Amino acid sequence: MTNEHLQRVARFQEKLKVLGVQGAMITQNVDLYYFTGSMQTGYCFIPAEGEPVFYVRRSVARAQEEAAVHTRPLGSFRAFGAELVQAYPQLAPQAGGPAPQLAAEFDVLPVQQLQRLQSVLPHVEWKDGSAAIRETRMIKSPSELICIREAARVIDAAFEDAMTVLQPGITELELMSRIEYAIRRQGHLGIMRMRGYNQEIITGMVGAGSAAATPTYFDGPAGGLGLSPAAPQSASRRPIAAGEPILIDIGCCIGGYVIDQTRTVVLGALPDHLKRAYDTAEHILRRTEVMLKPGTGCEQLYLQSLELAEEAGLSAHFMGYGDDQVKFLGHGIGLEIDELPVLARGFRYALEPGMVIAIEPKFTFPGEGVVGIENSYLITESGFEKLTTTREGLICLE
């Protein structure tokens, strides 16, 4: 195993010991990649003590080239349980003793897959290990940060390129296509992964005026009209007009790792009340930055943002509107765009060095648009490093 993968497995094994399980079965693509370095189809078994093994169905040859952990062909699934027990005696049935316990990704593991695993290990008790996995991934390594910083560089260049073609009459889709073309040429993988069930993301959200404020299923403060009910989010074919807020909430995925940022642009000038809302979003971001240091509670940052929005008289518009308001200020990013920690009520995590968090105060005005700003930050030993590099402020174009 490489030193980095060894450290990841070791941190996770400490959490497995706290859970009181004998090991964990990793099945989801992103988790497989995180622990093994390969995203081939199979199961990675990580014992609470000892060496993990990646049992691969397809492609074994590629997994053997890529994986940082020991790799074996999966073979007959019916024999998988017996093979595991032979390799890891701690999984054997204990006569008269407690059943062995294994953790799995209950947040993303399909019921059918869990039932298959239960069928080959019928004596095992399964427990939810998703929090332990996500908490392990929450702290980013130097090599992960290299990818995130490169994603930030690419998205900044694409944003500035898009500003050269932004004019009245261009459609949201044309603007989004320009951004996607630019980032794809510079190494964007073409996907932005999300962990949440039924949550998907298209590069980001480019929307102007009333279209940006159109609510949708996506768990964010701005939905977007989209191209059809089959993809009811982000850019539409609606032309962009002067004087309306243009929300450019975009990301990029380099080497599997994402950046997340938002800028607000206008052709001409915004109405005064929307300009004031944008200024409030920046004020909330600046006040949040003051508290970005190890030991600060994630819930505390969210509660402060609610207080600041209320002081400005904008609570009804903060992070959405009406029943479609979302209940967070920011979220972790990494291999997925909805990682831990979450800046929300009930999240008791304290900030730690190595966390990467996107913070996105926004205000939604039905029929008028969405304004706000979003940066991604690395928590350091003494405070934070801002990872997004795109110019800030309300960007007013002639």
For residue 72, give the CATH number of its domain: 3.40.350.10
Beta strand 41-47 with 53-58 is antiparallel
209 near 274, Cβ under 8 Å?
no
| Residue 355: domain span | 142-397
Last residue of a domain, one of 93, 122, 137: 137
Domain tally, the chain:
2
In 3D space, the residue among 133, 369, 349, 361 whose CA is nearest the CA of residue 270 turns out to be 369
Q: Phi-psi category of 204—alpha, beta or left, where left has phi over 0 and alpha has psi -120 to 50? A: left
Tell me: pLDDT of 141 over 80: yes
Query: How many whole angstroms separate alpha carbon 51 and alpha carbon 54?
Result: 10
Same domain? For 131 and 179 the reply is no
pLDDT tens profile 55-95: 999 999 999 999 999 999 999 999 999 999 999 999 998 87
pTM: 0.96
Which of 71, 104, 137 is at the close of a domain? Answer: 137
The verdict on 392 and 257 lying in the same domain is yes
**Quick one: 31 and 119 in the same domain?**
yes
Nearest to 207 by CA among 387, 330, 365, 375: 365
Based on the fold, state whether residues 150 and 261 are members of the same structural domain: yes
pLDDT of residue 61: 97
**Same domain flag for 133 and 146:** no
**DSSP class per residue in 151-207:** HHHHHHHHHHHHHTT--TT-BHHHHHHHHHHHHHHTT--S-----STT----SEEEE
Check whether 398 has a pLDDT greater than 90: no
Specify the pairing of strand 70-73 against strand 53-58.
parallel
pLDDT at position 71:
98
Closest to 332 in 3D by CA, of 379, 281, 276, 388? 379
The whole-angstrom separation of Cα 357 and Cα 351 is: 10
φ, ψ at 35 (rounded to 5°): -85, -25
**32, two tokens:** 């497989």
DSSP 3-state assignment of 50? coil
| Region at 75 (left for phi over 0; alpha for psi -120 to 50; beta for the rest) | left
Say whether both 223 and 254 belong to one domain: yes
pLDDT tens digits, 252-298 = 999 999 999 999 999 999 999 999 999 999 999 999 999 999 999 99
Overall average pLDDT of the 335-349 stretch: 97
Cα–Cα distance measured from residue 391 to residue 369, given in angstroms and rounded to the nearest whole number: 21
pLDDT-derived band at 202 (thresholds 50, 70, 90) equals: confident
288 with 188, same domain: the answer is yes
Query: 93 and 131: one domain?
Result: yes
For range 226-236, the mean pLDDT: 94
Query: Residue 330: left (phi > 0), alpha (psi -120 to 50), or beta?
Result: beta
DSSP string computed for 200-246: ---SEEEEEHHHHT---SSSSS-----SBTTB-SS--SPBP-TTS-E
102, 137, 172 - which closes a domain: 137
Residues 147 and 132 grouped into a single domain? no
* Count of C-beta atoms within a 10 Å radius of residue 64: 16
Q: Do both 177 and 213 map to the same domain?
A: yes
In percent, the amount of the chain with pLDDT more than 70 equals 100
101-104 vs 125-128, strand pairing mode: parallel
Predicted pLDDT at 46: 98
> Where residue 321 sits, what CATH number does that domain have?
3.90.230.10
Q: Does residue 260 contact residue 351 with C-beta atoms inside 8 Å?
A: no
Question: Looking at residue 102, what is its pLDDT?
Answer: 98
